[in-house]
Amino acid sequence: MYDFSTLMHDLDQLRCHSFVRTQEIGQSVLKKPIVELQIGEGETYVHMNASFHANEWITSAVVMAFVREYVEALQNKQHLCGYDVQQLYKRTTLSVVPMVNPDGVDLVLHGKKAAQHYEDEVVRINGGSEDFSQWKANIRGVDLNNQFPAKWEVEKERKIPKAPAPRDFPGFSPLTEPEAQAIATLTKERDFFKVLAFHTQGKEIYWGYERCEPPEAEEEVNEFAKWSGYVPVRYIDSHAGYRDWFIFNWKRCGYTIELGEGVNPLPFSQFHNIYKDSIGIFVTALART
């Protein structure tokens, strides 16, 4: 499993490298730091994030494995997937928020005690069950990937939960949750060239929104598909997600990559196959700038 403490340990190890920078971009409801990691010297920022959804915590492990391999290749002056990483480092800055929803991740992995003073509340929201394996929301029962002001009203109207729930409740208004606020603020400040949000599951890559995506998005997603075998999907009937909001407002490339296949939470036994399939996406996203 890959929980918040594992992430903190991995970040501590990465900070030993002079070319890895980290900063706290906000805090979760339970005051856990939401950390951004940066690698690179370029003015072109490529952003990646993981674990918007609590029971998709394997995405954090995958993204951090990408980062470690990138750092190792930089340190050893090696190529990665055929690309010269020294050139990528000079030309781009990689921005990674590896765990958007640390409270939710720890709830799924460690149970109600991880909710601290929200313990009784999460059990109530979960219908009295102490099995949190299907929990996607943050600790207040808000689905963080339904929090963004891109036709948020449409999702609010049609989502079945009208109050905090383990999944799908978009909140009482957009950007009420500190985790979503942190990502939104970071995105505005950094002026990202493109964004990749890692989720599970389905082996699909969503790449269009409301015809706002740029022409080059199709060419790039086809490159991702060649590396991964994942299926590009231009439009889905969904709004208020982070990627939706980014494409809608910036008219730039944004992708949701649905890693692996099966039923969430995916077993950690899928990690190596997921990583092998998706490492090419990670490097290509940096190279195509």
Domain coordinates in residue numbering, the chain: 4-104+176-199+274-287
Q: What is the mean pLDDT of the chain?
A: 97
pLDDT at 30: 98
Catalytic residue positions, numbered? 258
Name the DSSP letter for residue 215: T
Residue 27: is the preceding peptide bond cis (ω within 30°)? no
Residue type, position 199, single letter? H
Categorize the per-residue pLDDT at 39 as very low, low, confident or very high, splitting at 50, 70 and 90: very high
d(CA 146, CA 148): 6
The whole-number average pLDDT for the span 107-111 is 98
> Residue with structure tokens 């599951």?
201
Number of H helices, E strands in the chain: 10, 10
Is residue 113 exposed (0-12), middle (13-18) or buried (19+ Cβ within 10 Å)? exposed
Does domain 4-104+176-199+274-287 correspond to CATH entry 3.30.1330.10?
Answer: no
d(CA 105, CA 89): 31
pLDDT at 56: 98
Rounded to the nearest 5°, which phi and psi values hold at 238?
A: -155, 145
pTM over 0.75: yes
